[in-house]
Amino acid sequence: MTNAQVTALTSGLIAFIVVWALILVPQLISQLARHGRFHLRGLVTTAAVTCYACMALAVVLLPLPGPNSPRLSQTVQLHPFQWILDIHEELLKHGLPLSDWFTTQTFQQAMMNVLLFVPLGVFARILWRRGLIGTALIGFAASLLIEITQLTANFGTAPFVYRIFDVDDLMTNTTGAMLGWVFGALLLTLRRTTATKTSATSAIDAQPARRERVHLAQTR
């Protein structure tokens, strides 16, 4: 992980703490007013979504360019799967064998793009009850918004374009959202299976007690 990524994650964590502190009190007041008590699940859900949003935005937008930051020689990349060719070029540049493809910075960046959108897919499945196609559309739309933000230099608020609009990012981000949906679906299935087994076990354990009560009632 580069120093720039560490700085971005640290900034995202600080932003989460600030935003969460601003959200927490109104949410607690709202829960007390509506239900008369706190709902831990709702608090944790809000915290998770807020943390993900802050960290994701920090990773894709930070660090901002400074006065001495070099300008990009390329700001748009529209060739699908260019990252595969970039891996090959990186291996040749450093004289590495083909078996070391997974150690290249290009591959690691692609995998980070996938992992970045996995939580979004989990949220789409578990919290928003979206299907796989709907989740893919959400992932693509969110990724496209990020790429447009980068292409327009944060909608003109940055001094110049400092991130590349990359069609491969759209593909890897969308793939990450879909993988997150699958993971979320597996979690829901596991939870249902566990709940069913627990209910069945409780029913079996309760049968002797029922038979004993019936027997006592018959002997009276």
pLDDT of residue 194: 84
Tally of CA atoms within 13 A in the half-sphere of 129 that contains its CB: 0
C-alpha span between 34 and 128 (Å, rounded): 22
Distances in Å between the Cα of 169 and the Cα atoms of 47, 112, 117, 140 are 27, 10, 11, 10
pLDDT, one tens digit per residue, over 99-131 is 899 999 999 999 999 999 999 999 999 999 999
Indicate the residue type of 36. G
Neighbours of 87 (CB within 10 A): 20
Task: Tell me what the pLDDT averaged over the chain comes to.
Answer: 89
Spell out the domain ranges in the chain. 1-63, 76-220
Burial class (CB in 10 A: 0-12, 13-18, 19+), 121: buried
pLDDT of residue 54: 95
pLDDT of residue 215: 52
Looking up tokens 């290009």 gives: 106
Quick one: what percent of the chain has pLDDT higher than 70?
Answer: 90
Looking up tokens 């509506």 gives: 34
Looking at residues 152-178, what average pLDDT do you find? 95
pLDDT, one tens digit per residue, over 7-39 is 888 999 999 999 999 999 999 999 888 888 888
pLDDT of residue 211: 58
